[in-house]
Every structure is written in C-alpha cells, then in structure tokens.
C-alpha cells in the first residue's frame, strides 16, 4: 500500500482564479486590499500576493463552518437553517467597518469586514435593481439609487430606518458621493440629464443644480475634506473637465473653469493636498493638472489599455487604473516635485478569460508567460508572489507562446510573429526585438522553438500549412535578432493543432484535425512518417526526453505511444473524454494528460496504470507548462480561467504514510499491553475504536459483563464523542451478524440509541447507519418469530386434532 501511495503524487500548491468581472471596485484605506465585484460575490484581494483573502456573498462557502449536532448547517450569510438561491450583486460600497451589497432580489445586505459575518438584511424598497450605493463619510448612513424609480433613499442601518427618499431629479444616478467632511450633511448625485444635484439630507431639501456637462459624468472629486471646501472637479465623456467654485455666500456652486482635454474622461482625483489633479482618459492616457496654474501635463500618453476607472490611495500615495479587460495597474505617485511622477509597481489580473497557452522562460524557469484569449498576454514572476506584467503588441488574440531561455515567440490571430527578450534591467519585463506581419494566410494556432538554444522555430496555422524559420543573432549587436523563412510546406489537410521539436532538434512533429500526426526532418522538410490510428482529430504530440517514442492525444479519448523507428503504435491508454494536452514528467517516467472535462491524470509509462487523478479544473484544460529545470512542478490553465500550480509531493505523502503507520503500530502495541494487563480499560476501549478493532472492543465489554457491571458499560458509551459513537455503531453491526455476540450487540445498541429515542429533536445518526445496523437484528428476530409462529400453528393444529378425538370418543361412550 505504501509503495502505491508514494509512487508519484502532485498536489495543487496555489490557485489563481478570476476575482473581478467588472463594475464596482474599491480600495481599502490602508491600501493593502482591493475589493472587487465578481458576479454573486465581493472578493477581498491582497494587493501584494494577488490572492483572494476572503469573499462576501450569499453563496460563499465557509469551510470553517461545521454541521452542528442538530444537523443544521450555517449558510454563507451567517443565518442558520436558511437556504438561499444564487443572488447576484449589482453594486456594493465599503466603509472602514462595514461592507454593504445590493442584490438582484432587491435585498441589501450589511457585512462586518473584520469577521465577514452578515449583520443586517433588509429590502431596498426601490422599483427595480439598485444601481449605485454609497456610505456616508461618518460611516453611519447608506444612500442607494434605484434603477427604475429615479429615487435616492437614505438609510440609518443602526436604527433600521429609512431617513428620507429624495425624488427631485431624473435618475438613476451612476455617480453618487457624500461630502468628504462629516460636518456637512450634503450628498451629490448625477442625474440622467448629466446635471449634478446636491441635497441636504437632514432637511431633505435640494440645495444646488450644477449644469455644464452634455455627456455622462464619470468622476467627481473634492479638493479636500474640510467643511468649507470650496472647490469641486467633475469629468465627463464629453471630453471636458469642469471646476466648480462655491461662492462666499455658499448659496450655490458656480463654474469657475472649463478645461477641454479632447479625450473621453473616466476618472479624476485630487492629490498633494489638492494642489494637483490626476485625470484618466478612456484611451489610457493619464494627465496631471496644476490647480493653481491649470497647466496640463501628460504623465504617459495613449497606451494599449483602455481605462474604465481610476482609484487613489492617499496613505500609500498610489494610483490604480482599471482597464476594460478587468486588469488593475498600480502606480506609485511621487508628489514631492512640482510635476508628479508615476512608476509602475504592480499589475493584477482580475479576469483571465480562457487560458490558451503558457510556457516558462528565464533562469531556472522563473517567469511564466500566459496567453489568455486576449491581444495582451501576461508575464508572471513566479518568485515574486506571481507579480504580473501585461505585454502588449499584438492587434488580435494571442494563440500560442514558445520560449527558449530568455527569448519568447508569440503568435496569434493577427497572423503576425513577435520576438521578445527578457529585460536585464527591469524584473518581469519583455522587450520587443522584432516582428513580422502576415506570416501566414490564416490564424497562427501553434508555435515551437528549438531546444538548448534558440536557432530556429516552426509555426503552423489553421489552413494546414507549416513554416520553419531561421533565427539569427547579429554578431556585432548581440541584442539584435532577426528571423527569416527557411521553408514552408502544406503539412496537413486540416487545421494543425500542435507542432513540437524533438530534444535533438532534428525531427519536427505536427498533429492535426485530419486524425494524423506526422514526423518531419526539421532541416530538409522531408516527411519521415505518418502516425495513423486515431479515429478523431489529434490535439497534441510530444517527444519523450529519454526514449525513441512519440506521445499523441486525440478527441477519440485515447493516448497513443508510437515508435519513432517504425511508426507503429506501442501502447494505447483510454480516458473518458477528449484529451487536449499531454506532457512527459519525471524524465519520461510518467505522462500527464489534460482532458476536456477538466480532469488531470497521471500515468505510469511502465505499468500503463493511472496512479493519480486530479480534479481541480471545472472546464477544458488547454495548456500545461512543465518546469524543465526542476521537473518537480507544473502549471495548468484552461477554459475555467484558473491558473493552478502543482508541486511534487511524493516525498511528503510517503513520509506522512510512514508516520501514520508508525503511530498506528504504537497505538496497537499500547492496546495490546492494556488488554493483557486488564488495566485502564476505558483508555483501551477508545483505542480500539480509534484503530477500528471490533474484537478488542467486544472483549472489553464482555469483561465488564462477566463482572455484572452494567453501569460501567453505560459509562463507556456515554463518554464517547460523536465520531466514536459512529465507529461503535459499526462494531455493533459486525457483532450483530453473529448470534453468539447478539446479546452484547443488543445491549450496546440500546445505550447508543437511548438518547436519540428520548430526545427526537436531536439526530445523532443518519438513517443509513441505523438501517445497516438494525437489519441483522431485525432479520434474526424476524426469523425467530417466524419459527415460533410455525410452532404455534402446529401446536394449534395438534390441539384441534386432540379436541376432535376427545369429542368423538365422548359421543361413542354416550351411545
């Protein structure tokens, strides 16, 4: 058993999943966490590690909650005995102590941040969903904006009351903000007419109407948090920034300056105690405006990323730009000089979509490049908490990646090939070297690079063609690379799914939807052989690192191992569904297969046995990246957007099994000693239950019964916990199958079931356990009763016969 357990084991060491699907996002005051909306949950994400710390939502499964004695489990919102269906969150807001979520069911839920527990739940009373929600500056009130009734409602959640309903504006309001000073009872909302309305929520009166924008207002920022703050800045998609000034009489807000910026604006914030403004443009440009001179300066010009939101953390002096692809780009903002300086420090990937391909590069496979159904691909630093860098350059989806040490090649649907190199000056950065467009006539679906030095690479596309390229390096400028076409060939009749080089770089293999895989001479383009046998399309082909064999996977749910010498099929391994990806592990001793149902399987190549099945993905696994340096860990990614790291835990599992076996042997020796000395029988009884020894537990109870000590038996049962009672119940089941042990079995069963029968509100055992235990008892007594009924019927028959004979003899005597 130990040999099979320790043969080979991998376990998920880290999981990187989607945590942001768009819409509301906010930053904690200390800058350590970002709260993101993702469907029916709000995720708390650690900025440093990019990992989800906790989640808030109706269906969040709290693994620490256990089932109570009454059999009722606590639901995710902290209420017992309540079953709740999926309830998507439309928006949320956060204060220093609480988080409030607005759900599609029309409910508002208030959560405590420190404990992640649901505090309150109430109806929003809006017609239609709540589209915007905001905490007051003091954190005591909540304002909600309805999507259909054009109403703002102010809630005092501590007293469970609605303070007012503000209706004097055309809603809904997508921008909602309280005055930053807790001394001011003002709330600002942008109506559907792009007018900014201001109310005093204590007197429930409309104070101001600020008209000026002609398109959707996307940002609003006060100069400071003072009660007499006299400057307010708004930005809109009409490409204009408006500065509002409060008059001395404080009777209204007036436009003091209108600044055209010629870009659709998505956010604005004051920095440096109100001395400067940062404005984010939808195109990706970030601008700085001095609030004294109103001079405009571009911090960085248009980028490949489209910006949808802007966040600012004053404590850490960091800026976060949220892209339309749900990526979070964080910059340090230096305000010591007159002109602010921004420096990129972190990039978080909120949403990955499908992970199509990945590969390692760099020294000791430090970096992981990941293509995620986007024109940008990601570069992760595996040694620095998976710090990510978004790499832009393609104009359409990146389909495949290939790397050799510090060089990386990316291809995609734009039919172009890009060559990149790791930067020596900056961590986690790829520098573009060269590129060629229109390299193929259709989308390039796969690419492979030579091993042990990048000298050539091969690319294949959907029309079945394959091209091999010569990669050269400038002798004078060692940082200059170029690639040229060596030859092109029509490799297959249908789409090519995979291309790869042998370890010696002399043979090239391709796999296609035409149900075949082919081997080519990499230098001369000569077809060496065709691997025929699959009944459906072939998805992947790999060369063994040690043997003269080739591995293929197909939609016919099989893995096939082929001989390079004669192209014959040596082995065939079956799986339940389409096998999309295969890799050799542990220097060719094992095979890892990834299927369309998300299941990973580890095969022993020598015995053809599946030694482990890993169920971590919930959808198709498109990509597997195995570390060639250590060969002890790998990453997987697929259609469920999960990026998972698996580590080799064979030694850990073996050591744990040995330690467990040693502990069991020690417990068995202790049990044997206690039984032999007839001492500490209570301890021995518990050890017998722990080790699952029905014979030992029966002998201990018999010892007390021989002394006619029924109270001791009762005490033994009463001191057991729930797990021990269940084990003893199974022992009773084993005893009940033997008539010699039935008396002891019935006695213990009476003690076990006594409390449950007396108190029917408590369910100690499920019905399945009771049926299994009582079945032998019922069958035996049913058989005994049936035999007694037969004997009784026979006795009745005899009595009747005797009665009839006596009656007949009396009649004869009479006559």
Question: DSSP per residue over 241-285, as a string?
Answer: EEEEEE-TT-S-EEEEEEEE-SS-EEEEEEETTTTEEEEEETTS-
Q: Indicate the Cα dihedral angle 84, 88, 92, 98, nearest 10°.
A: 20
For residues 312-334, b (16+ Cβ closer than 10 Å) or e, as one string? Answer: bbeebbbbbbbbebbbbbbbebe
- Give the C-alpha separation, 538 to 383, whole Å: 35
CB 520 within 8 A of CB 528: yes
Helices (H), 410-465: none
Q: Where are the extended beta strands (E) located within 716-758?
A: none
Phi-psi region of 511 (alpha: psi -120 to 50; beta: other; left: phi over 0): beta
Strand partners, 489: 466
Predicted confidence band at 426 (pLDDT cuts at 50, 70, 90)? Answer: confident
Collapsing DSSP to helix, strand or coil, 239 comes out as coil
* CB atoms near residue 237 (< 10 Å): 17
The pLDDT tens digits for 367-378 are 999 999 889 999
Weakest mean pLDDT among 163-172, 371-380, 497-506, 645-654: 163-172
Name the phi and psi angles at 813, rounded to 5. Answer: -65, -35
For residue 78, the model assigns a pLDDT of 40
Q: What is the pLDDT of residue 67?
A: 30
Task: Note the pLDDT of residue 44.
Answer: 94
Find, among 84, 85, 101, 108, the residue nearest to 23 by Cα. 101
Tokens standing for 363? 């020294």
CA distances for 8 relative to 13, 163, 425, 608, 635, angstroms: 16, 64, 40, 14, 17
For residues 279-308, give the mean pLDDT: 88
CA-to-CA separations, 701 to 712, 739, 773, in angstroms, rounded: 9, 16, 18
- Predicted confidence (pLDDT) per residue in 492-523, tens digit: 999 999 999 999 999 999 999 999 999 999 98
> What pLDDT score does 61 carry?
42
Overall average pLDDT of the 589-602 stretch:
94
Q: Exposed, middle or buried, 627 (CB in 10 Å: 0-12/13-18/19+)?
A: middle
Percent of the chain beyond pLDDT 90? 50
CB 34 within 8 Å of CB 321: no
Backbone angles phi, psi at 774, to 5 degrees: -80, -20
pTM here is 0.78
Q: Coil, helix or strand for 420?
A: strand
Buried-exposed string 56-65: b where 16+ CB fall within 10 A, e elsewhere? bbbebebeee
Distance of CA 394 to the CA centre of its chain: 28
Nearest to 264 by CA among 298, 195, 300, 216: 216
Residue 172: cis peptide before it, omega within 30 degrees of 0? yes
CB contact at 8 A, 21 and 37: yes
Give me the mean pLDDT over the 777-806 stretch.
79
pLDDT at 173 over 70: yes
Per-residue pLDDT tens digits for 697-742: 888 878 777 777 777 777 777 777 777 777 877 787 777 666 677 6
Say if residues 125 and 156 touch (Cβ distance below 8 Å): no
- 154, 143 contact by CB (below 8 A): yes
Indicate the pLDDT class of residue 688, thresholds 50, 70 and 90: confident
How does pLDDT run across 427-470, given as a tens digit for each residue? 888 999 999 999 998 999 999 999 988 899 999 999 999 999 99
Cα 281 from Cα 289, distance rounded (Å): 13
Cα(316)–Cα(731) distance, integer angstroms: 62
Tell me the pairing of strands 538-543 and 527-532.
unpaired
Q: How far is CA 723 from CA 570, 583, 701, in A?
A: 50, 43, 19
Reference 571, options 609, 613, 514; nearest CA is: 609
What does the pLDDT read at residue 250? Answer: 59
Local confidence band at 6 (pLDDT 50, 70, 90 cut-offs):
low
Residue 1 has pLDDT above 50, yes or no: no
pLDDT for residue 414 is more than 80: yes
Largest CA distance in the chain: 146
Give the percent of the chain with pLDDT over 70: 90
Tokens (6 digits) for 459: 């690319």
Residue 64, pLDDT above cutoff 50: no
Count CB-CB contacts under 10 A for residue 490: 9
Give me the pLDDT at residue 177, please: 92
Tokens of 422: 């790791």
CB neighbourhood size of 374 (10 A): 21
Q: What are phi and psi of 751, to 5 degrees?
A: -70, -40
Beta bridge partners of residue 265, listed in sequence order? 281
3-state SS, residue 659: helix
Distance CA 714, CA 752 (A): 9
- Specify the pLDDT at position 776: 62
Q: What is the pLDDT of residue 270?
A: 92
Residue 396 has pLDDT above 50, yes or no: yes
Interior/surface letters 103-120, b for 16+ CB within 10 angstroms, e for the rest: beebbbbbbebeebebbe
Measured in whole angstroms, the distance separating CA 82 from the mean position of its chain's CA atoms is: 25
Give the gyration radius of the chain's Cα atoms: 37
Average pLDDT over residues 371-387: 90
């Amino acid at each position: 058993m130990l040999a099979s357990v320790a043969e080979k084991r991998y376990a998920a060491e880290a999981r990187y999943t989607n945590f942001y699907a768009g819409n509301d996002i906010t930053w904690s005051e200390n800058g350590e966490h970002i709260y993101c909306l993702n469907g029916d949950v709000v995720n708390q994400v650690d900025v440093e590690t990019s990992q989800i710390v906790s989640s808030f939502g109706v269906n969040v499964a709290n693994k620490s909650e256990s089932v109570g004695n009454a059999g009722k489990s606590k639901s995710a919102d902290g209420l017992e005995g309540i079953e709740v269906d999926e309830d998507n969150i439309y928006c949320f807001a956060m204060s220093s102590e609480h988080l409030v979520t607005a759900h599609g069911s029309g409910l508002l839920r208030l959560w405590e941040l420190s404990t992640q527990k649901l505090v309150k739940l109430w109806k929003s009373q809006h017609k239609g969903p709540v589209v915007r929600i905001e905490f007051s500056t003091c954190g005591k009130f909540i304002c909600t904006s309805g999507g259909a009734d054009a109403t703002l409602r102010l809630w005092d959640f501590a007293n469970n009351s609605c303070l007012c309903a503000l209706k004097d504006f055309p809603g809904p309001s997508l921008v909602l903000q309280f005055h930053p000073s807790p001394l001011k009872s003002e709330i600002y909302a942008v109506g559907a007419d792009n007018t900014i309305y201001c109310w005093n929520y204590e007197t429930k009166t409309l104070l101001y109407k600020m008209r000026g924008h002609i398109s959707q207002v996307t940002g609003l920022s006060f100069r400071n948090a003072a009660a007499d703050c006299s400057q307010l800045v708004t930005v809109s998609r009409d490409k204009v920034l408006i500065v509002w000034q409060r008059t001395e009489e404080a009777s209204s807000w007036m436009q003091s300056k209108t600044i055209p910026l010629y870009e659709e604006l998505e956010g604005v914030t004051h920095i440096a105690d109100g001395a400067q403004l940062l404005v984010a443009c939808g195109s990706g440009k970030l601008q700085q405006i001095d609030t004294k001179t109103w001079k405009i300066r571009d911090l960085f010009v248009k980028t490949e990323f489209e910006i949808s939101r802007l966040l600012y953390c004053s404590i850490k002096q960091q800026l976060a730009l949220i892209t339309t692809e749900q990526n979070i780009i964080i910059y340090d903002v230096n305000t010591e000089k007159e002109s602010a300086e921004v420096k990129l420090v972190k990039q978080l990937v909120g949403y990955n979509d499908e992970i199509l391909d990945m590969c390692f590069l760099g020294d000791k496979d430090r970096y992981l490049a990941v293509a995620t159904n986007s024109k940008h691909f990601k570069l992760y630093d595996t040694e620095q908490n998976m710090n990510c860098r978004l790499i832009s350059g393609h104009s359409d989806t990146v389909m495949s990646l290939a790397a050799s040490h510090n060089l990386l090649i990316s291809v995609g649907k734009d039919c172009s090939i890009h060559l990149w190199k790791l930067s020596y000056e900056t961590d986690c950065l790829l520098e573009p070297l060269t590129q060629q467009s229109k390299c193929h006539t259709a989308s390039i679906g796969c690419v492979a690079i030579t091993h042990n030095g990048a000298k050539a690479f091969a690319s294949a596309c959907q029309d079945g063609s394959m091209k091999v390229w010569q990669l050269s390096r400038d002798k004078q400028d060692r940082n200059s690379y170029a690639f040229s076409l060596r030859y092109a060939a029509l490799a297959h009749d249908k789409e090519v799914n995979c291309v790869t080089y042998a370890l010696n770089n002399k043979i090239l293999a391709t796999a296609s939807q035409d149900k075949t895989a082919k081997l080519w001479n990499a230098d001369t383009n000569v077809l060496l052989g065709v691997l025929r046998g699959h009944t459906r399309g072939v998805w992947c082909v790999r060369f063994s690192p040690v043997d003269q064999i080739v591995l293929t996977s197909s939609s016919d749910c099989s893995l096939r191992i082929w001989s390079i010498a004669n192209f014959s099929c040596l082995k065939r391994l079956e799986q339940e569904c389409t096998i999309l990806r295969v890799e050799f592990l542990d220097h060719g001793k094992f095979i890892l297969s990834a299927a369309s149902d998300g299941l990973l399987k580890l095969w022993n190549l020598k015995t053809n046995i599946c030694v482990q099945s890993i169920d971590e993905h919930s959808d198709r696994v498109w990509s597997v990246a195995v570390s060639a340096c250590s060969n002890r860990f790998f990453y997987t990614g697929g259609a469920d957007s999960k990026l998972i790291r698996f580590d080799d835990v064979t030694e850990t599992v073996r050591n744990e099994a040995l330690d467990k076996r040693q502990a069991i042997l020690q417990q068995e020796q202790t049990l044997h000693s206690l039984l032999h000395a007839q001492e500490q029988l209570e301890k021995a009884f518990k050890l017998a239950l722990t080790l699952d020894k029905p014979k030992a537990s029966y002998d201990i109870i018999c010892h007390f019964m021989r002394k006619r000590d029924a109270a001791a038996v009762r005490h033994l049962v009463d001191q057991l916990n729930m797990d021990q009672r269940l084990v003893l119940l199974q022992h009773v089941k084993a005893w009940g199958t033997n008539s010699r042990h039935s008396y002891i079995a019935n006695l213990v069963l009476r003690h076990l079931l006594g409390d449950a029968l007396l108190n029917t509100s408590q369910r100690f055992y499920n019905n399945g356990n009771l049926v299994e235990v009582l079945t032998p008892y019922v069958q035996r007594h049913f058989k005994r009763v049936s035999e007694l009924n037969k004997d009784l019927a026979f006795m009745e028959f005899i009595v009747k016969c005797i009665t009839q004979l006596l009656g007949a003899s009396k009649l004869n005597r009479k006559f």
